[in-house]
Amino acid sequence: MKTLLGSSVKDLEKVALNYGQAAFRGRQIYNWIYNYRNKNKKIDQIDVLPLDFRKKLIEDGFKVSELGLQDKNLASDGTLKLLLSTDCNESIECVGIPTEKRLTACLSSQVGCPMDCKFCATGKEGLKRSLKASEILDQILFIENEMNRKVKNIVFMGMGEPLLNIDELLFSIRSINEDFQISQRKITVSTVAVPKMISKLSEKSFQILGNCQFTLAISLHASNQKIRETIIPSAKNYEIKNIIEDSKQFIRDTGRRVSFEYLMLSGVNDKLEHAKELSTLLKGFQCHVNLIQYNQIDDVAFKRTPLKNLQLFQSILSNNGIAVSLRKSRGLDKNAACGQLRQNARNK
């Protein structure tokens, strides 16, 4: 199968020329694919192309989209979660998060996840495989089509560990930037942190993208190594002090600030002593902390930190000179935590 999604204008012009068509036919395909107002993404529906050209592309195995819509849930706050099926009958999730000014797409980079974070539903079934760049990009098309809005921000915070699919991640970012016309500065790559991969991310970004301007968000979720290992099993292979040093090097290499995600788990990592410990750990370099309310999951013992405690934790960080913000969870009434919609579908 030959997927057109992720192809550049020049790539599609070459496809057209190879079929004896004028180069502008490739530009027509390009404009059709990346215009969110065009709901029909199948080749036989690109009616600006000659019928014979469309038929030949289909006969030769070309497609625009590889994914199919399996299920969707719309929360009362407008958050839309989509369950998409791959051509190998696996399922992935993506989420559209709207505000008045922008639509953010939360994308998956793998089918499942190998990291087995204890607070996350995705890791319960392990890793099936990594996604191709075209499958990552296809999620954007589905969100735009379903919500009838152009996506303006991207976060790789869905299913999977992006740094274990680094080449396809960066190929997709290149297309998001060049084809979907979304600035790198509006893209966030979230990772639980994998040894040696933060430096590889910056190195490969310069090779594939020419620069590195997206935001790196590290899912820290703990103020010390002991707590981190209890909730993130893979942390045993990556000391928290080494994560901080690698983050500092990433900043030196790219000039970009690093964000640290901190999921507040009641009685686990949300005590005042943890806030002080986190302040000491992060003090003195260019970073930002996102405190996150927990989306509770069935069969998982973790509970959400009360808002009052969360705000006190935030004030301690702020008073110690740490840039910090509180990120409220979206779609709570519709099983919006990563992996829940997929898990529910499998249990039916």
Q: Which residues contact 9 (CB under 8 A, 6 or more apart)?
A: 26, 27, 30
Is 146 considered catalytic here?
Answer: no
Selecting among 94, 113, 212, 338, the annotated active-site residue is 338
Is 125 considered catalytic here?
Answer: no
Nearest by Cα to 259 from 112, 136, 157: 157
**Using the 8-state DSSP alphabet, how is residue 131 labeled?**
P
- Separation CA 153–CA 150 (nearest Å): 9
Q: Residue 205 corresponds to which tokens in the numbers above? A: 């970004």
Q: Residue 104 corresponds to which tokens in the numbers above? A: 């953010």
- Separation CA 180–CA 182 (nearest Å): 6
Selecting among 13, 93, 135, 161, the annotated active-site residue is 93
Q: Which residues contact 207 (CB under 8 A, 6 or more apart)?
A: none
- The SS3 call for residue 292 is strand
Place of tokens 């006190």: 312
- Separation CA 56–CA 150 (nearest Å): 31
Nearest by Cα to 322 from 334, 330, 313, 332: 313
The residues carrying an active-site annotation are 93, 338
